[in-house]
A and B are shown apart, each in its own frame.
Chain A
Amino acid sequence: MLKVGIVGCGKIADSHAWAIQSIKGCEIVGACDAEALMARQFSERFQVRQFFTDVGEMLREARPDVVHVLTPPQSHYSIARQCMEGGCHVYVEKPFTIVTEEAEELLGLATQKNLKVTVGHDAQFSHATRDLRRLVQEGYLGGPPVHMESYYGYEFGSIYGNAIVRDKQHWVRRLPGKLLQNVISHGIARIAEFLCDQKPLVIAHGFVSPSLKSVGEEEIVDELRVIIADQRGTTAYFTFSSQMRPTINQFRIFGCQNGIFLDETQQAVIKLRGHRYKSYAEQFIPHANFSRQYIGNFFRNVSRFVAKDFHMEGGKKCLIDSFYCAVISKTPEPIPHNQILLTSWIMGEIFKQISRKGASCEADSVRGGEISTRTHAFASIDRLQK
């Protein structure tokens, strides 16, 4: 029986508890939160025998094998370190750490102590993303990825989004990357999975949307465009937007022969055929082909639903299950360390650039500086490839 401890009994802890209790052979043996009432309500609702307000006490009393660190990101590093020093494998919610140096330290400590560690990039383990990964591994792209596009939409209409805008003391505002740091991990991790460098070129442009400005918001960057390029020649665009409609969560990956389109929200994967049909056939046959694929996605989703394998947090369950398998069988973790580091490093670069450019970047775009920024970007990629 794998014994699991939970640190941080806020909103995200519920979905972890559901996932853990859905996996055979594991048990939540302790819940910990600095606020005793929060720890108590969690333990009552999920029938956890013991609850604590101190991590050290939980490690000593409940003796978990694995600890899920689900606190606000500012405390991920210290709590994960404490748990690893106590001999526990660690699952850290995204974002992994505040800065890359902390991520490096944690991963180094895990290697040194022969412990497993992973990060909550659970969108990487949804049905659709696993289908996409399988296609890539089977060589559908025809070689290494040439280009990727990752879109991550966000709506401030949610109670969480509203809370951030209303509450000037919200913990998200105290993150170096503020809102972006808490939400873009999924979109960046999709790209990081298919890059080969540990330090690719990153060019970021971020700004506060006019919509947020109209309610007096000046510090939350809610529009972000990023260009990423590695030495192999793989490039990527990342788009984060709170204003674009529809609110999409999509990914496109193109190889030298074919491409693949993933819609995370709709759980759809579409193959993009690289070769054209002759003459007028190109105007008719692809439509039938796309229709067939969308119908295929429909039936695949229905069959998964009927088989009771289509839960909202299914990706999280799959990631946790895979992580526990790695712990038990001492096999590699579901997310390699270099991907965790790369995601962290790219995010760090983005936050550095948008905080450095700040208002001047925005002024540039108003004056038409956007063009010069892009010219600079492509020149940089060109230099890198040479």
Chain B
Amino acid sequence: MALQDPIISPEDKVLVTGASGFIGTRVVGKFLEHGFRRVRCFSRTSSDLRKLDSIKRDYGDTAEIEIFRGNLLSREDCRRAAEGVPVIYHLAAGTGEKSFPDAFLNSVVTTRNLLDASLEHACLKRFVSVSSFAVYTNRNKPDGRLLDESCPMEEHAALRGDAYCYAKVKQDEIVMEYGKKQGVRYVILRPGTVYGPGKRAITGRVGIDTFGIFLHLGGSNKIPLTYVENCADAIVLAGLKKGIDGEIFNVVDDDLVSSRRFLRLYKRNGGSFRSIFLPHIVSYLSCYLWEKYTLRSNGQLPPAFNRSRWHAEWKDTTYSNEKLKKLVGWRPKVSTSEGLARFFKSYEEGGKNA
């Protein structure tokens, strides 16, 4: 897709955090594909740089790919990394597993450090913050089953028991706060389930294997998939397109498949395993009972299952990418059927494409 009148010139340097990660390497690749030439890749000292090195080799002298080793928790590293860059693509995030402080530290404190650094240099034209579908409550939506950008964020994110959700909600809040109070021009992207070669885990929206057997919870629900290259395309475009400051975009592909179909394909291609389907009424009731017991027992069971999580992950929902298409001009280049074929092919090849 051609990009007309971007906010920066091909000679401007952009910063990509999480550049050596699953999505980050594709963002760097897509950015260069669009004809831009200079990118600073922020990466942890311990990150594997083989994929970035491969991109460097592909572009040779025609592009300047600077590897910046550092830690986003260091204000000084952020200050140096943000120097002279008009666009920051902020992809780095901490999952924190079950730890709220860890997830918060690695998502919110790092984001604040970058925002402060960009204010210091006063050359930022756009801060692209990559968030997640996890921030949506999926309750009290204006359009019934449709989940789009108008769906409210989880108000009491900590109560969902999901550290990642909490951290991403707080990350979005701090970006919006800097937009409002400090005038930072930002765009927030919220990808659904990003998949592609290099990522093997089944999304929790399909089911969980917490109890030793895979519980299939999605059933006929559509899974909000976005193929990693489509997602990277959306992120790159959101950093370059004029007139979208302060907007939030969901990133989800067309022609989504159901949870049941995804699981069937996964078993066929990724190796068979036993699973049990739990109808929605059963999974909802289980979440309700777990939530009640967690409260009554003062946390003897962790708050891993509750109604908030059920609504967010296992409720029958439809998704829209209309806003992204309309305002950014994005189209998923790789169809879902093609994306799934590539994804499962990487399994057959034993993760060679990973």
Within 8 A of B (CB), among A1-54: 9-11, 13-14, 18, 22, 35, 37-38, 41-42, 44-45
- Among candidates A9, A166, A168, A311, residue contacting B298 with C-beta atoms closer than 8 Å: A311
Alpha-carbon gap, A41 to B105, bound state (A)? 10
Name 17 A/B residue pairs within 8 A (Cβ), A-sorted. Answer: A10-B101, A10-B105, A18-B299, A22-B298, A35-B109, A37-B109, A38-B101, A44-B158, A45-B158, A159-B96, A166-B46, A167-B45, A167-B46, A168-B46, A169-B71, A311-B299, A312-B302
**Which range contains the number of A residues in contact with the other chain?**
20 to 34
Task: Please report the C-alpha to C-alpha distance between residue A268 and residue B197 in the assembled complex, in whole angstroms.
Answer: 45
**Across-interface contacts of B99 in A (CB, < 8 A):** 11, 14, 159
A22 nearest in chain B by CB position: B298
**B44 at interface by CB-CB < 8 Å:** yes
In the assembled complex, which residues on chain A have CB atoms less than 8 Å from the CB atom of B108? 37, 41
CB distance from B43 to the nearest CB of A (A): 12
Chain B 15-58: CB-based contact to A (< 8 A → 1; otherwise 0): 00000000000000000000000000000111000000000000
- Ranked nearest first, the 8 interchain pairs of A and B with the lowest CB-CB distance are A166-B46, A308-B297, A11-B99, A45-B158, A159-B97, A10-B101, A11-B101, A41-B104
B100 with A38: CB separation less than 8 A:
no
Secondary structure type dominating chain A contacts: helix
Cβ contact within 8 Å between B46 and A37? no
Q: Is the CB of B104 within 8 A of A37?
A: yes
Q: How far is the CA of A310 from the CA of B297 in the complex (A)?
A: 9
Distance A167 CA – B298 CA, assembled complex (angstroms): 35
Residues of B within 8 A of A312 (CB): 302
Q: Is B102 an interface residue (CB 8 A)?
A: yes
CB distance from B138 to the nearest CB of A (A): 22
- For A305-338 the 0/1 string (1 means CB < 8 A from B) is 1001011100000000000000000000000000
Query: Closest CB-CB distance, B42 to chain A, in whole Å?
Result: 15
**Residues in B neighbouring A169, C-beta threshold 8 A:** 45, 71
Q: How far is the CA of A14 from the CA of B44 in the complex (A)?
A: 27
Q: Provide the bound-state CA to CA distance between A312 and B294, in Å.
A: 13
Q: CB-CB < 8 A to B170: which residues of A?
A: 41
B210 shortest CB reach to chain A, Å: 15
Contact across chains for B102 and A308 when beta carbons are under 8 A apart: no
Q: Please, how many angstroms separate the alpha-carbon atoms of A341 and B294 in the complex?
A: 38
Write the nearest CB–CB distance from A83 to chain B, whole angstroms: 21
Interface extent on B, as a size class?
20 to 34
Q: How many A-B residue pairs have CB under 8 A?
A: 57
The residues of A with any CB-CB pair to B shorter than 8 Å are 9-11, 13-14, 18, 22, 35, 37-38, 41-42, 44-45, 159, 166-169, 305, 308, 310-312
Q: Given contacts A305-B300, A310-B300, is CB(A38)–CB(B104) below 8 Å?
A: yes
B296 contacts partner chain A, Cβ-Cβ < 8 Å: yes
Residues of B whose CB lies within 8 Å of any CB of A are 44-46, 71, 95-97, 99-102, 104-105, 108-109, 112, 158, 170, 296-300, 302
Contacts of A167 in B (CB 8 A): 44-46, 71
Which residues of chain A are near B104, meaning CB under 8 Å?
Answer: 37-38, 41
Q: What is the chain B residue whose CB lies nearest that of A44? A: B158
CB distance from A373 to the nearest CB of B (A): 35
| Nearest chain A residue, comparing its CB with the CB of B97 | A159
A18–B102 Cα distance when bound, in Å, is 17
Taking CB atoms, residues of chain B closer than 8 Å to A168 are: 45-46
* Chain B residues whose C-beta falls within 8 Å of the C-beta of A310 in the assembled complex: 300
- Give CA–CA (A13, B101) in the complex, Å: 9
Could you tell me if A11 and B112 are in contact, using CB atoms closer than 8 angstroms? no
Q: How far, in whole Å, are A14 and B97 apart by their CA atoms in the complex? A: 14
Give the residues in chain A near B95, CB-CB below 8 Å: 159
A107 to chain B, nearest CB (A): 29
Q: Given A166-B46, A308-B297, A310-B300, answer yes or no on A11-B109 (Cβ-Cβ < 8 Å).
A: no
Asked if A159 and B102 sit within 8 Å, CB to CB, the answer is yes
| Chain B residues, Cβ within 8 Å of A44 | 158
Contacts of A305 in B (CB 8 A): 300
In chain A, what residue has the closest Cβ to B302? A312
On chain B, the residues within 8 Å of A18 by CB distance are 299
Chain B residues within 8 Å of A166, by CB: 44, 46
A339 to chain B, nearest CB (A): 29
Residues of B within 8 A of A41 (CB): 100-101, 104, 108, 170
Closest residue of chain A to B71 (Cβ to Cβ) is A169
A residues within 8 A CB of B100? Answer: 14, 41, 45
Whole-angstrom CA separation of A13 from B99 in the bound complex? 10
CA distance A45 to B108 in the complex (A): 15
Give B99's nearest chain A residue, CB to CB: A11
A378 to B297 CA separation, bound complex (whole angstroms): 50
Contacts of B112 in A (CB 8 A): 37
If the complex has contacts A10-B105, A168-B46, are A308 and B298 also in contact, measured as CB distance less than 8 A? yes
Nearest CB of chain B from residue A78's CB, rounded to whole Å: 22
The minimal Cβ–Cβ distance linking B318 to chain A, given in whole angstroms, is 32
Cross-chain contact A308 with B300 (CB below 8 angstroms): yes
Q: Across the interface, name the chain B residue whose C-beta is closest to A305.
A: B300
Q: How far is the CA of A30 from the CA of B291 in the complex (A)?
A: 29
Return B240 CB to nearest CB of chain A, in Å: 30
B297: nearest chain-A partner, CB-CB:
A308
